[in-house]
């Protein structure tokens, strides 16, 4: 009883392994003579070797994989006391097996010899699917009588596939900008399967349809697939778009897939701080006049403008400080380095090492922003987010490690 339970447990624990179901089919050949004398014996005036070729039409269903071939043919040694011939059999250019013919008999008593290939899981090498295959009998060192031949083809109908799936691209840490273009990198997962079984050792080649004339995409080819039929390669580009990937591997039909390079997360996280434009309404104290602008302003407000660069007066005017003239001047809005007005929930200062002006991006848990400003303090993975009031600035929760996603604009390259 206990033994039975143990057996049941063992069965339950045995992993299910998908095995290819094989079938066999017999193909007649053009070697149909019932008794063909082949003289490959120099002692009998023949050459040292004779090769006989015959062919058979591929009998397996479309899409099947020929795993092995067995060639059957009747042979005998026609003369007692003479050399025994050796027979080596190949199909197309793939050797199968060989034998020595040492039975002496007349034509009516030929003996069946079988020549069996090994089992090729990925398919018999060089087999011609849907066409004619040639069997070569290399008879040497003796004379032989050869009868008709047939081929036993063993095949399976498991579908073979090698495919590539590109993961969503990222912008890697060392991307930088080359000709104002960001670098995008995608991990390529290559999968080689036969039926439900991953195939190990498949060396796939992945290529991009955009590289036909000029190399714009760099592909690090995957190594041979592992025991699960999986391998990883890498795709790098500085050009956005939809890329057609084709995957090829010996013994596998080629496949196509697409990779979209458009939005992408920056691999490193960012520091997110904030800045604002001072407003005169936030300042108390005495009113004073200022060089370059009419009217009076709170003294503290003017001092703040000198530090910050610009501010909004109580009458709505935007006052900026010009260090060259050491005077104030009016502007139409708080200005960014790239020219546009700094706008709440829109403007951000970025490092020109990391992205270009006009880049649209999303800061996780903050929102979408546009790169419109720069400054010496904003270096590498640091974004300064513009807020429009001092109150918002004071309550800004600095984020030490924010995820940032490239959306559009800026560093995209069209060619």
Partner 1 sequence: MFKLAGLCLSLLITASLIAAPCTSVTIKDDREVWINGQRIIRDNFGVNSPRWSRDGQQLAYVNDFDLSSDPVTHIVVIDRAGHVVQRMPVPESARFNFVTEMGWLNPTTIWVEGHINPSVSVYEEFDLSTREMKHETFGTAFAPSPDGATLAYRDHEPHPARPGRHPALMIDDSPVKLLDGVVVTGPLVWSSTGERLAVGVQQNKHSGVALVTRRGMLERVSMLPVEGRPQAIAWSTDGSLLVRANIQNPTYRIDRDGAVVASTTPLRAAALDEACRSGRADQ
> SS3 for 3?
helix
Q: Please give the Cα distance from 346 to 225 (Å, whole number).
A: 47
Asked if 395 interacts with partner 1 (CB under 8 A), we say: yes
Q: SS3 helix, strand, coil % of the chain, rounded to 5? A: 10, 50, 40
Question: In the stretch 278-317, what mask flags binding to partner 1 with x, by CB under 8 A?
Answer: ---------------------------xxxxxx-------
Task: Name residues contacting partner 1, limited to 156-175 (CB under 8 A).
Answer: 174
Residue 61 within binding range of partner 1, rule CB under 8 A? no
Please pick, from the candidates 82, 98, 220, 337, the single residue that binds partner 1 as defined by CB under 8 A: 337
CB-wise, 246 or 273, nearer to partner 1?
A: 273
Q: Does 324 bind partner 1 (CB under 8 A)?
A: yes
Residue 72 or 308 with smaller CB distance to partner 1: 308
Give the DSSP letter string of 121-148: TT--TT--TTSEEEEEEEEESEEEEEEE
What CA–CA distance (Å, rounded) separates 249 from 162?
Answer: 7
Segment near partner 1 (CB under 8 A); pick from 7-15, 83-91, 291-299, 375-383: 375-383
Q: Does position 240 bind partner 1 by CB under 8 A?
A: no
Min dist CB 129 to partner 1, Å, is 51
What separation in angstroms does the CA of 371 have from each of 352, 356, 382, 398? 9, 7, 12, 18
Residue 118 near partner 1 by CB under 8 A: no
Q: Which among 67-75, 83-91, 392-400, 407-415 is the span making contact with partner 1, rule CB under 8 A?
A: 392-400
Comparing CB distances to partner 1, the nearer of 315 and 376 is 376
* Residue 318 touches partner 1, criterion: CB under 8 A: no
378 binds partner 1 (CB under 8 A): yes
Distance CA 291, CA 327 (A): 5
Q: Are 18 and 195 in contact (CB under 8 A)?
A: yes
Q: How far is the CB of 272 from partner 1 (least distance, A)?
A: 10
Closest CA relative to residue 165, chosen from 98, 235, 108: 235
* Binding range to partner 1, per CB under 8 A, among 142-150, 164-172, 204-212, 335-343: 335-343
CB-nearer residue toward partner 1: 308 or 356:
308
Among the listed residues 127, 270, 321, 357, the single contact to partner 1 using CB under 8 A: 321
Long-range contacts of the stretch 301-309 (C-beta < 8 A, 24+): 302/328, 304/278, 305/278, 308/277, 308/278, 309/335
DSSP category for residue 230: E
**Token pair 């099947």 in the structure block, residue:** 64
Please report, as residue ranges, which positions from 174 to 213 form the binding site for partner 1 (by CB under 8 A): 174, 176
Contact 87, 95 (CB under 8 A): no
Q: Is 19 in the site for partner 1 (CB under 8 A)?
A: no
Q: Which residues bind partner 1 (CB under 8 A)?
A: 174, 176, 273-276, 305-310, 320-324, 335-337, 349, 353-354, 373-380, 384, 393-398, 400
């Amino acid at each position: 009883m206990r033994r039975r339970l143990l057996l049941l447990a063992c069965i339950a624990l045995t992993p299910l392994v998908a095995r290819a179901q094989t079938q066999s089919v017999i193909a007649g050949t053009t070697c149909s003579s019932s008794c063909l004398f082949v003289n490959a014996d120099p002692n009998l005036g023949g050459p040292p070797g004779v090769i006989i070729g015959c062919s058979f039409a591929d009998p397996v269903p479309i899409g099947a994989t020929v795993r092995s071939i067995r060639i059957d043919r009747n042979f005998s040694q026609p003369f007692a006391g003479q050399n025994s011939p050796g027979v080596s059999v190949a199909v197309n250019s793939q050797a199968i097996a060989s034998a020595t013919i040492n039975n002496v008999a007349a034509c009516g008593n030929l003996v069946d010899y079988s020549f069996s290939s090994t089992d090729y899981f990925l398919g018999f090498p060089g087999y011609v699917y849907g066409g004619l295959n040639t069997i070569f009998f290399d008879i040497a060192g003796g004379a032989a009588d050869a009868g008709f031949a047939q081929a036993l083809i063993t095949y399976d109908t498991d579908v073979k596939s090698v495919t590539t799936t590109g993961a969503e691209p990222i912008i890697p840490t060392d991307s930088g900008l080359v000709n104002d273009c960001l670098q995008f990198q995608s991990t390529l997962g290559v999968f080689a399967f036969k039926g439900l079984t991953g195939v190990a050792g498949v060396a796939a080649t992945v290529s991009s349809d955009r590289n036909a004339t000029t190399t714009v995409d760099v592909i690090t080819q995957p190594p041979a697939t592992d025991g699960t039929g999986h391998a990883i390669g890498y795709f790098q580009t500085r050009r956005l778009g939809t890329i057609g990937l084709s995957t090829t591997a010996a013994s596998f039909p080629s496949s196509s897939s697409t990779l979209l390079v458009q939005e992408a997360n920056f691999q490193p996280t960012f520091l997110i701080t904030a800045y604002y434009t001072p407003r005169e309404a936030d300042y108390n104290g005495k009113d004073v006049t200022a060089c370059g602008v009419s009217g009076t302003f709170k003294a503290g407000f003017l001092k703040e403008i000198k530090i910050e660069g610009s501010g909004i007066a109580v009458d709505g005017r935007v006052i900026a400080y010009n260090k060259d003239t050491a005077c104030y001047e009016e502007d139409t809005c708080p200005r960014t380095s790239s020219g546009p007005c700094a706008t709440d929930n829109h403007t951000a200062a970025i490092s020109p090492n990391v992205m270009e002006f006009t880049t649209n991006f999303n800061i996780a848990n903050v929102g979408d922003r546009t790169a419109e400003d720069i400054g010496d303090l904003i270096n590498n993975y640091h974004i300064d987010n513009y807020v429009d009031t001092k109150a918002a600035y004071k309550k800004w929760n600095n984020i030490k490690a924010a995820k940032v996603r490239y959306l559009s604009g800026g560093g995209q390259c069209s060619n």
